[in-house]
Structure 1
Amino acid sequence: MRILILGGTGEASALVRGLLAMGRRDAVTLSLAGRTRQPKAEPVPTRIGGFGGAEGLAAWLGQDRTDLVIDATHPFAARMSANAAEACARTGTRLLAIRRPAWTPVPGDRWTEVPDMEAAVRALGRAPRRVFLTIGRQEVAAFAGAPQHDYVVRAIEDIALAVPRLTAIQARGPFDAAAEAAFLAEGAIEVLVSKNSGGGATYGKIAAARALGLPVVMVARPEKPDVPSVPDVAAALAGIAAL
C-alpha cells in the first residue's frame, strides 16, 4: 500500500517505527505541518508544509495514488483533520484516525474546564497570578488581553510574541511528574493553563499540579470529523495489518 501519515505527534513517530518493524513493503510518506523548524528526523520520506486545504490534499492523494491516509495529528489540529476527511471523501481514499483518549479529572485535581482559549484567559480572573502556559506557542498571543499576569511559557523553539510579562523557556520534553513538580515549585507557579491533549507524554505536568495542589485551567478539545478511528498506535497497526 501507499500510506500517507499526517504526523507531528509521538503517535506518528511510533507508527512509522511500527510499520518498519513489521517488515511491510508499504510506501510510507510522513507529512509535517512545518511549525517546528527542526523536527525530529524519521526514517521515511518526509514532506513539510501544508497541502493547500482539502482541495490541495485531494490533488496530492490522486497524484501519489495513495491507498490509505492515517490522521495521527495532534488532538487540537482540527483544521488538518477536517481537510483529511474531506479530501479522502472526494478521492475515495481510506482514512484511519488515531484519537488518543482525553484526560479526565481524578480525586485531588482542581480543574476549571473551559471550551476555548478565550475562555481560559477569562478563567484566570483579574487578580495578578503567576501562570504556566502549557498550550504551545501558537496560542500564547490570546493572553495579551490579560497583561496583569506573569506568564511562563516552555516551548521547543524561541517565542517572540507581544505578550507583556512573559518568560520564555526553551526546552524539549518529555518531562516526568517529579521534574514538573520541581519546575512548578521553583518557578512559584500559581496556576496552569493546559490543552486537554490526552496521552502520557505530557501528563507529568497534570500529575505535578495535583501533587502540589495547584489549579489547572483545562481547555477542551475542538470537534473533529466522525471518521473511522482507533485509540492508539497498536490498534492502528493491527488495522493496517488486516488490510
Structure 2
Amino acid sequence: MNDPAAIIVGSAEGTALLRLCPDAVRLYPEDAVPHGIRALVDARHPMDRAGHWRSWRAANARGLPYLRLERPGYAPRPGDRWIRLRHLRAASALVPRGARVLATTGGEDYAALSRFAHARLFIRRRSGRARPPVQGAVMLPGEGPFTIGSEMALMRRLGIDLLITRDAGGEGSYPKLAAARRLNIPVILIARAPAPPGRRVRTVQEAASWLVSAGS
C-alpha cells in the first residue's frame, strides 16, 4: 500500500485540495514535514516565502516529490494607481507626513509598520488585539467577508489617503483594491519574495492531478 501524500494548508486552495484528496495528510504551516509520506504539496499562503523554502528544503533532503500550489498575484486594471515594492520598510519614505493610511499586511510585516510614525495609521489584522506598532495607530478587526461596497464605506469613513497591502492574489481580499481604484486612492503593493525552484501549479485541479501520479 502506498504511503499517503501530505498537503500543507494555509490558503483557500490548500483547503479545497484537501477536500478533493481526503486521504492526504493535512499539515499546518508550523508543522514539520513528517516521515512516511510519498509526496508533498505546499499550499501555504502565497506570501509565506520563508515557509515555502523550509518545506522545499525538507522535501529535497528526503527525496520527496514537491509541488507548490500558488494562486496568481493581482493584475492591474485601468484606473489602478499601484506602486509595487519588494519590502514594506521601503514604503515609509513614500508616505507623506500626516497621510491617513490603511494597512492590511500580514504579521511578518507588522514590525515594519513602526516606520510609519509620521502617518495616521489604521491597521487591519485578523487578530485585532495586537499592540499598535506606533502611538496613535488604530487597530481594526480583520474578519471578512469583505465587499467592494463595505471597503469603500470604510475608506470614506476613515478618510483614507493611501492603501498598503500585499500581492496575495485571490478573490477574498481583492475588494479593497477595487474600492481603492473607484475612490482614486493610490496603493502600495508589497510583492512576493522569490520562491524556491521546482514545479508550481495555479489551480486545485492541477495539484490534484499531480498527486495521482506523484510517488507512484
Q: State the AA in 1 paired with 2:25.
A: T
- Give the C-alpha shift of residue 50 in structure 1: 4.4
Q: State the AA in 2 paired with 1:151.
A: L
Task: Please identify runs of 4+ aligned residues in structure 1 that moved more than 6 A.
Answer: none
The equivalent of 2:147 in structure 1 is 176
Q: Please, which runs of 5 or more residues in structure 1 have no aligned partner?
A: 21-25, 34-48, 52-56
* Structure 1 CA distance for aligned equivalents of residues 191 and 93 of structure 2: 15
Aligned pair partner of 2:113 in 119, 134, 143: 143
Aligned residue for 2:154, secondary structure, equals helix
The equivalent of 1:41 in structure 2 is none
* Structure 2 CA distance for aligned equivalents of residues 184 and 234 of structure 1: 36
- Please say if 1:163 is aligned against 2:134: yes
- Give the C-alpha shift of residue 134 in structure 1: 0.8
- Give the C-alpha shift of residue 168 in structure 1: 0.7
The equivalent of 1:229 in structure 2 is 200
The equivalent of 1:129 in structure 2 is 99
Any idea what the Cα deviations from partners look like across 1:115-159, whole Å, max 9, x if unmatched? 11111222213x211100011233122121221211111122121
- Aligned-residue CA RMSD in angstroms? 1.6
Question: Structure 2 length normalisation: TM-score?
Answer: 0.91
* Structure 2 CA distance for aligned equivalents of residues 4 and 108 of structure 1: 42
* Structure 1 CA distance for aligned equivalents of residues 175 and 194 of structure 2: 25
Q: State the AA in 1 paired with 2:94.
A: A
- Give the C-alpha shift of residue 242 in structure 1: 4.3
Any idea what the Cα deviations from partners look like across 1:160-214, whole Å, max 9, x if unmatched? 1432221111231231212211111112111100111112121111011001110
| Higher RCO (C-alpha under 8 Å, 6+ residues apart) | 2
The equivalent of 2:25 in structure 1 is 29
Q: State the AA in 2 paired with 1:30.
A: R
Aligned pair partner of 1:2 in 1, 4, 20: 4
Q: Please, which runs of 5 or more residues in structure 2 have no aligned partner?
A: none
- Alignment check: 8 A CA contact 2:7 2:27 kept: yes
Please give the residue correspondences for 1:50-89 in structure 2 after superposition, counting only pairs within 5 Å.
50-51=31-32, 57=33, 60=34, 62=35, 65-89=36-60
Any idea what the Cα deviations from partners look like across 1:12-36, whole Å, max 9, x if unmatched? 111112223xxxxx2x222223xxx
- Alignment check: 8 A CA contact 1:141 1:161 kept: no
- Alignment check: 8 A CA contact 1:130 1:151 kept: yes
Aligned residue for 2:7, secondary structure, equals strand
The equivalent of 1:99 in structure 2 is 70
* Structure 1 CA distance for aligned equivalents of residues 101 and 65 of structure 2: 43
- Alignment check: 8 A CA contact 1:133 1:193 kept: yes
* Structure 2 CA distance for aligned equivalents of residues 131 and 100 of structure 1: 27
Q: State the AA in 2 paired with 1:155.
A: R
Aligned pair partner of 1:117 in 82, 88, 98: 88
- What is the identity percentage for the equivalent residue pairs of Structure 1 and Structure 2? 27
Aligned residue for 2:21, secondary structure, equals helix
Aligned residue for 1:113, secondary structure, equals strand
- Alignment check: 8 A CA contact 1:149 1:165 kept: no
- Alignment check: 8 A CA contact 1:190 1:215 kept: yes
- Alignment check: 8 A CA contact 1:141 1:163 kept: no
The equivalent of 1:152 in structure 2 is 122
* Structure 1 CA distance for aligned equivalents of residues 4 and 94 of structure 2: 46
The equivalent of 1:39 in structure 2 is none
